[in-house]
A and B are shown apart, each in its own frame.
Chain A
Amino acid sequence: MTEIIARGTLTGVPALSAQGLSKTYGSGANARQILGDVSFEVHDHETVCIVGPSGAGKTTLLRCLAGLMPSTAGSVFIGEEKVVGPPRRMAVVFQDYSRSLMPWMTVQANVELPLRGRPGLTAADRRERAQTALASVGLENSGTLHPWQLSGGMQQRVAIARALAYEPDVLLMDEPFASVDAQTRADLEDLTHAIKAKYGMTILLVTHDISESVYLADRVIVLSGTPTSVTEIVPVDLPYPRDQVSTKSTSEFSELRGHILGLVRRTQP
Chain B
Amino acid sequence: MRAVLGKSTALLTEIWLPILTVVAWWTLSSKSTSLYFPPLSRIISKLGEVVTTRFASDILPSLQNLAAGLCISVILGVICGLALGLLPPLYTAFQPLLEFMRAIPGVALLPVALFMFGIGSDMKVAIIVFGAFWPVLMNTIDGIRGIDILVKDVSRSYNIRRRDHLTRIVLPAAAPQIIAGIRISVSLGVILIVASEYVASTEGIGYIELQSARQYYMDVMWAALLLLGVLGYLLNVLFRVVEHRLLRWHRGLRGTDQGGTK
Contact = CB atoms under 8 A, between A and B. Distances in A.
A102 B161 contact: no
Contacts of A113: 158, 160, 164, 168
A148 interface: yes
Nearest to B148: A99
Contact of A68 (B156, B164, B173): B156
A149 B157 contact: no
A103 B252 CA distance: 9
B249 to A, nearest CB: 4
A96 B150 contact: yes
A67 to B, nearest CB: 7
B159 A86 contact: yes
A103 B255 CA distance: 12
A146 B252 contact: yes
8 contacts: A92-B153, A105-B168, A113-B160, A113-B168, A114-B158, A148-B253, A151-B262, A162-B158
Contacts of B158: 86, 91-92, 113-114, 162, 166
Given A103-B250, A148-B249, A114 B172 contact: no
B157 A68 contact: yes
Interface in B117-173: 148, 150-151, 153-154, 156-161, 163-164, 168-169, 172-173
A68 B249 contact: no
A104 B154 CA distance: 15
Interface of A: 63, 66-68, 85-86, 88, 90-92, 94, 96, 99-100, 102-105, 113-114, 116-117, 146, 148-149, 151-152, 162, 166
A116 B160 contact: yes
Interface string B223-262: 0000000000000000000000000011011011000011
B175 interface: yes
A146 B148 CA distance: 19
Interface residues of B, number: 26
A81 B250 CA distance: 41
Given A104-B172, A104-B175, A146-B249, 14 more contacts: A67-B157, A85-B156, A90-B157, A92-B157, A103-B252, A103-B253, A104-B173, A104-B249, A105-B168, A113-B164, A116-B168, A148-B249, A151-B261, A162-B158
A68 B158 CA distance: 11
Contacts of B151: 99-100, 102
Listed from nearest, the 3 A-B pairs whose CB atoms lie closest are A114-B158, A104-B172, A117-B161
Nearest to B151: A99
Nearest to A147: B253
A149 B252 contact: yes
A50 to B, nearest CB: 17
B247 to A, nearest CB: 9
B161 A94 contact: no
Contacts of B164: 113, 116-117
B214 to A, nearest CB: 51
Contacts of A151: 261-262
Nearest to B251: A148
A167 to B, nearest CB: 12
B153 to A, nearest CB: 6
A86 B157 CA distance: 5
Contacts of A105: 168, 172
A106 to B, nearest CB: 9
A142 to B, nearest CB: 15
Contacts of B154: 92, 94, 100
Contacts of B150: 94, 96, 99-100
A117 B157 contact: no
Nearest to B150: A99
Contacts of B157: 66-68, 86, 90-92
A88 B158 CA distance: 7
A184 to B, nearest CB: 11
A200 B112 CA distance: 70
B160 A114 contact: yes
